[in-house]
Amino acid sequence: MADASAAGEGGAAELVFNDVTKRYPGRPQPAVNSLSLVVPAGDICVLVGPSGAGKTTAMKMVNRLIDITDGDITIEGRSVRAMGLTQLRRGIGYVIQQVGLFPHMDVADNIATVPRLLGWDRARISRRVDELLDLVGLDAAQDRTRYPAELSGGQRQRVGLARALAADPPLMLMDEPFGAIDPITRDRLQNEFLRLHREIRKTVIFVTHDIDEAIKMGDRIAILRQGGVLAQYATPDEILASPVDDFVASFVGADRGLKRLALTRVGDIALEPAPAMAADGIPTVPETTSLRDALSLMLTHGGRPLLVVDGSGRATGTVTVDLVSETLSNGGGRRGAAA
């Protein structure tokens, strides 16, 4: 965890749910019922399902905000039930929808909360604050002395993320972190977090009620049904291509073919050759555009092909409606697909 006696500062940690059950007195059904799954180190596992399916309960048992009734959860082979609460929680980053920043502390002091508890010296804390503000896309010189009330919702969420990362924990818990933010800011923060995750590779448990967010964010998705029963645990592409039953098929939606297109970027497929000479008015998209967004843009422009360009603006080929259709029929949606 955050010190040498736990999972180790930095890196990522394997997380295992082993037949985990949570029962509340007076309730006929468990909130979580015999949940077993393995989250490989460095993966984002999204817990998704209808209201009352036990998503947040399952997540909160990891840091023992909710006690486990039966079974166990291990981090790098160590039972969370065998660790002291302080040691356990200081080594797990925690991000919630309401952010939970301390209103009387400025940004720098909010981020420094756990490092200060761990006894870091001032110089190390100051360097870490500046590093994290830069990492989450904020201006260290301008934002470190501001207070939460002076920040936008998106900025507060970024500070909350920086605070969760402050002690470089191997594991992060994220409970509907972008749920209370407008759609445009939400999309930006999702993209920013995925970019950040590619750099830091933490193990992440991410709770959402939104299947589209789950597909976008998850390396693996655990779909829970009422009563906290695991319906399916697989990669996004596996769930969209082969839902295990009618409940999962209904939950992911009838448009699951289109959803699979969101998993593949135009730069991931074999494109048609780029025109020898630039064509006036042809729409241009970067290689990072999803096939779903590319298809939407082509349909908006009457089915015209799109010119695909790399990060330097150099044309790498064209994508057509027929090419997208062929990719989907051949198994599109590659991100997270099983080898």
pLDDT digits (tens, 9 = 90+) for 33-64: 999 999 999 999 999 999 989 999 999 999 99
pLDDT given at position 250: 94
Over residues 257-271, mean pLDDT: 87
C-alpha closest to that of 266 among 296, 234, 221: 296
| C-alpha distances in Å from residue 316, one per residue of 265, 306, 325 | 13, 11, 20
pLDDT given at position 187: 85
pLDDT given at position 111: 92
Residue that is written with structure tokens 């949570």 in the block: 22
pLDDT given at position 277: 63
pLDDT in tens, 207-218: 999 999 999 999
Measured from the Cβ of residue 141, the count of other Cβ atoms closer than 10 Å reads 8
pLDDT in tens, 113-167: 888 888 899 999 999 999 889 888 888 888 999 998 898 888 888 888 888 888 8
The predicted model scores a pTM of 0.82
pLDDT in tens, 88-102: 988 898 888 766 788
Q: Starting at the edge strand that comes first in sequence, how are the strands of the sheet with 32-39 ordered?
A: 32-39, 15-22, 70-75, 78-79
**CA 247 to CA 253: how far, in whole Å?**
10
Over residues 286-291, mean pLDDT: 90
- Residue 271 dihedral angles phi and psi, to the nearest 5°: -85, 160
Over residues 171-185, mean pLDDT: 84
Confidence band of 325 (pLDDT split at 50, 70, 90): confident
* Pairing between β-strand 78-79 and β-strand 284-286 as defined by DSSP bridges: unpaired
pLDDT given at position 100: 78
Confidence band of 168 (pLDDT split at 50, 70, 90): confident
Amino acid of residue 7: A
- Mean pLDDT of all residues belonging to the chain: 87
In the beta sheet, which residues pair with residue 317?
Answer: 308
pLDDT given at position 60: 96
Residue that is written with structure tokens 């486990």 in the block: 68
Q: How many residues does the chain have?
A: 339
Over residues 266-292, mean pLDDT: 83
pLDDT given at position 5: 36
Pick the range with the lowest mean pLDDT from 117-121, 223-227, 277-281, 296-300: 277-281
Confidence band of 205 (pLDDT split at 50, 70, 90): very high
| 276, pLDDT greater than 80 | no
Extract the tokens encoding 186. Answer: 């939400």
Percent of the chain clearing pLDDT 90 (strictly above)? 52
pLDDT given at position 55: 95
Largest CA distance in the chain: 73
| 3, pLDDT greater than 80 | no
